[in-house]
Structure 1
Amino acid sequence: MTEVSLTGRLLVATPALADPNFDRCVVFLLEHDEDGTLGVVINRPSPVDVDDVLVPWSKIVSEPSVVFQGGPVAMDSALAIASVPGGAEPLGWRRVHGGLGLVDLDVPPELVAADFGSMRVFAGYAGWGPGQLETELRSGAWYVVDSEPGDAFTPTPDRLWRAVLRRQVGELAMVATYPEDPTLN
């Protein structure tokens, strides 16, 4: 049973996480309840331009304007998140946390473009069944930290893992200096 929802928070892979799908990744949690957990990896840009797969949305997405690898599940499907400043709730947008929400990609972009501050498209997602994430948290695979509004849309996703850790307090900030391969130290 999930006691506290982690929706809207970040999962930051610990150096001990051995799964290559999540090595040094940062996951923004879209849903977390007794039925399981759903999130998207926000620091893995792919080489695919949004213009190659979702032409109507290509002028709205934040830089870099590529599709991000949201996770290992359903890589052939797309989902998008967008920020909506000022508390509005535009057509085809469902609030997840604060000013961030999921975008219905079937809505014509011209109807919502003016309402979006930032937007990003993801291929696939990361998912955990009931209790699965809690087991991984107990085993030390993830750090759970607060998200900041710009995390999901950073123009430098390759630096996000270190940046998120660096802004934490205490020993957790030190993890940001952990080398890619500790055997080479």
Structure 2
Amino acid sequence: MTAEASSLYLPGSLQGHFLFSMPHMDDPRFAQSLIYICEHNESGAMGIVINRPTEMHLNELLQLLELPDREDHAAIEVYAGGPVQNDRGFILHSPLAKWDSSYVINDQLTLTTSTDILRAISENHGPEDFLVALGYAGWGAGQLEQELSDNVWLSCPANLDIMFRTPAEERLQAAAATMGIDLNLLTSQSGHA
């Protein structure tokens, strides 16, 4: 990801969408996960799992980075964004400013990996909406398309209220509900007619 990189949205791309696992997902890294797709093109896809908080909170992360923290940072969860580069931070946020290493996903969200945004957040002049994650989920060329055709995932347009204002444990069902689906009623047995 380069500074000020912009997204390339292709027809059929799921960029800017939610991806949620079907009940029969057998990969424990992704079972019952809701992923925001940051990039999806002919080279593959990249997203951040947004419903799996870690035991770490923002104040602890800021302390590790020797950045100032405030009392209210203790209530902000840091998420397990995926199994790839899970020692690296990724911040999904509303557009506000240009950071050292940002990727514009669309007019509503940007993904930043540089610590300057964390400094701004710690000093109370960062973006209004943000989600901090460690790691990301990635797919090679054609891999996500194959998993979709195998009925491993469903997708729907992303909803920022779900991402930023819905409790983490309710996000998966809330995303499915936007499509009229109750995941509790779906079977965990896969099959084809």
TM-score, normalization: structure 1? Answer: 0.80
2:47 is aligned to: 39
The 8 Å contact of residues 73 and 124 in structure 1, kept in 2 or not, is answered as yes
Aligned to 1:140: 151
Q: Does 1:110 align with 2:117?
A: no
User: Per the alignment, do residues 168 and 57 of structure 1 end up closer, same or farther by CA in structure 2, a change over 3 Å counting?
Assistant: farther
1:81-134 deviation per Cα after TM superposition (whole angstroms, max 9, x unaligned): 1113xxx54444432123111124332633995361211110110000010001
> What RMSD in Å do the two structures reach over aligned CA positions?
2.8
Correspondence for 1:13 = 21
Displacement of 1:148 after TM fit? 1.1
- Figure out how many residues of one structure are paired with residues of the other and give that number: 174
Distance across 2 between alignment mates of 1:177 and 1:27: 19
Aligned 8 A contact 1:67 1:120 in 2 = yes
**1:146 corresponds to which letter in structure 2?**
P
Report deviation, 1:3.
5.1
Secondary structure (helix, strand or coil) at the match of 1:152 reads: helix
Residue pairs, 1:1-185, within 5 angstroms: 4-55=12-63, 56=67, 64-84=75-95, 89-92=97-100, 93-107=102-116, 109-110=119-120, 114=125, 116-169=127-180, 173=181, 175-178=182-185
Residue aligned with 1:94, SS: strand
2:29 counterpart SS class = helix
Q: Distance in 2 between matches of 1:121 and 1:5?
A: 24
Deviates more, 1:113-122 or 1:154-163: 113-122
TM score, norm. by length of structure 2: 0.77
Is the 1:17–1:23 contact (alpha carbons within 8 Å) kept by the matching residues of 2? yes
Matching residue's letter, 2:45: T
